Structure 1
Amino acid sequence: MDIRKGDIVAWPTNLGWMMGPWLVYASLLNGASMALYNGAPVGSGFAKFVQDAKVTMLGVIPSIVRAWKSTNCTAGYDWSAIRCFGSTGEASNVDEYLWLMGRAHYKPIIEYCGGTEIGGGFITGSLLQAQSLAAFSTPAMGCCLFILGNDGYPIPQNVPGTGELALGPLVFGASNTLLNADHYEVYFKGMPLWKGRVLRRHGDVFERNSRGYYHAHGRADDTMNIGGIKVSSVEIERICNAVDSNVLETAAIGVPPSGGGPEQLVIAVVFKDPDNMKADLDQLKKSFNSAVQKNLNPLFRVSQAVPFSSLPRTATNKVMRRVLRQQLAQANQNPRL
């Protein structure tokens, strides 16, 4: 992120998430200041705070950017002091991030991905390299990355591909014990060997493209099996989010039918207007179907579009698709709920 003496750094976070300690140390060790905002960072109040504090480095997560864009709450505020954005926490979207760059005269966005359990990042963008929007350009210092193929073993480093990400076993700051689970079973059991060492499981799905850039596709446990084809929830959500201007966000969930059988694709929908919960869901379902079949796979079919006032999230703002899956599966078994 190239934080320097005199910089003013703002990153909505908390100390229970890795980015909390990161904000403290990255700012103060480099002679920069922290800009701390008391409240939710999703409205015009935060946009004014960024302006008034003359923030030079602003950290975001994609969900916040999506909220800013949908409400246009940053309009009229001067963010010209920003020279760099940072982004982490979720898979990002090219259109939304191009919009974000436009708030600060198209300053760069540096993607950063890591985990609290490894005490830092394992893949990042860099101001020293040409960047690709919503993509990572390099493994973090001291970290080796591997993308596992369908056979469960790493594909060659110079070959494009998509699969679950594994880390080299020696990572700066990585955990070696857990308080409430077996560390080996969580991170190493069943993982392949590399140069005589067992690789470390991380759980994200990543793509390495032909240009050498990496794209995040969400958690491996967020993948669904639709018609015998594995697909990431994030891929479907990116398409559905753009279908209707009234949609704030979506979550794609694979839900088993009450009588058993293949997973059915259900789209949980949050509307920009909370009073729009009774929109024409049948028409919206048809629109989702058309977009998914055109842009992703003609064999995929959306079985339901279900309205939600908001999506359940973790303390770090990640969508809890497992909770949604349980709620939707229960609703299928008990239609009156």
Structure 2
Amino acid sequence: GWCHMDIRRGDVVAWPTNLGWMMGPWLVYASLLNGASMALYNGSLNSSGFAKFVQDAKVTMLGLVPSIARSWKSTDCTAGFDWSTIRCFSSSGEASSVDDYLWLMGRVCYKPVIEYCGGTEIGGGFVAGSLLQPQALSAFSTPAMGCNLFILDNNGNPLPQDSVGTGELALDPTFLGASTTLLNADHHEVYFSGMPEWNGKVLRRHGDEFERTPDGYYRAHGRADDTMNLGGIKVSSIEIERICNRVNDAILETAAIGVPPLGGGPEQLTIAVVFKDQSSQTE
């Protein structure tokens, strides 16, 4: 279980998700392969009902997206419930905030949060935290087993491995779970077109912006392209803009932007609107 968020026989694993997202199949396999139970909840996570469910089910590993932790912190809906059975949290889907996760850890006597980052299109993760190593809040301690990570410089070339820097993340294309085709797009165009080579192999585009810190950890800084992670779900700005442009006949065009908050954490959706008649005010 060490490569599945330290899930052990007899654990109770809760990770609110769906089978259309990477973490749905992960929950099924990681729980059952390691002899653990799945705790499944039907309802809103932003309620005392879910907090009570975690208590009553005696959840030992709780997975979540960072937006949920931020919501719990702001509403305090988990107050008064006993989460002492939780041995660790796990987090995926968005860039996380140190402040939010320090608050979350404080709910359970500062048990650790294991960060995990990957994608549905790669069938798993490429960078993660591990309880076999010292951990840092809102950071990843190691590439996933079998993965090589590269941070690209401003010219699109990979920085020397293990060097400090921030830039778009690229992956060694040979790893378990990597997709080979797409149903509605050109796979090569999406993932490999225009990417640099390393050791004779064209690197695979992922689209996240990552930092490698001086102490050897990785930190996520959101998307490097026009895709946004909102509540752990990737969505294109074009999809949002298409809907917003039809909201009112007075709208000329809109622009949807994912803005990371100061101090890090989940992206916040910001929409800029240009009206056809800019001299008038429209509510």
**TM-score, normalisation: structure 1:** 0.70
Name 1:21's counterpart in structure 2: 25
Q: Distance in 2 between matches of 1:127 and 1:266?
A: 35
Name 1:190's counterpart in structure 2: 194
2:225 aligns to what SS in structure 1? helix
Alpha-carbon contact 1:83-1:107 (below 8 Å) kept: yes
The aligned amino acid for 2:125 is G
Name 2:176's counterpart in structure 1: 172
Question: Runs of at least 4 residues of structure 1 off by over 2 A?
Answer: 264-268, 318-321, 328-337
Alpha-carbon contact 2:222-2:267 (below 8 Å) kept: no
The aligned amino acid for 2:273 is A
Equivalent of residue 213 in structure 2, options 203, 209, 213: 209
Name 2:273's counterpart in structure 1: 329
Q: Distance in 2 between matches of 1:333 and 1:197?
A: 52
Q: Deviations over 1:160-207 (max 9, x none)?
A: 110000000101011000010000000000000000010000000000
- Cα RMSD for the two superposed structures: 2.9
The aligned amino acid for 1:122 is F
The aligned amino acid for 2:82 is D
Q: Deviations over 1:225-274 (max 9, x none)?
A: xxxxxxx999xxxxxxxxxxxxxxxxxxxxxxx99xxxx99999xxxxxx
Name 2:89's counterpart in structure 1: 85
The aligned amino acid for 2:51 is A
Structure 1: stretches of 5+ with no match in the other structure: 224-231, 235-257, 269-287, 297-317
Residue-pair matches, total: 254
Q: CA deviation at 1:330?
A: 4.0
Equivalent of residue 225 in structure 2, options 201, 221, 235: 221
Structure 2 residue 108 is matched with structure 1 residue 104:
yes
1:221 aligns to what SS in structure 2? coil
- Between Structure 1 and Structure 2, the one with more helix by share is 1
Equivalent of residue 94 in structure 1, options 86, 91, 98: 98
Q: Distance in 2 between matches of 1:221 and 1:13?
A: 25
Higher relative contact order (CA 8 A, sep 6+): 2
Go from structure 1 to structure 2 and tell me whether the alpha carbon gap of 1:267 and 1:73 turns closer, same or farther (over 3 Å shift).
same
Name 1:116's counterpart in structure 2: 120
The aligned amino acid for 1:121 is G
1:135 aligns to what SS in structure 2? coil
Structure 2: stretches of 5+ with no match in the other structure: 231-250
Q: CA deviation at 1:43?
A: 1.0
Equivalent of residue 62 in structure 1, options 59, 62, 66: 66
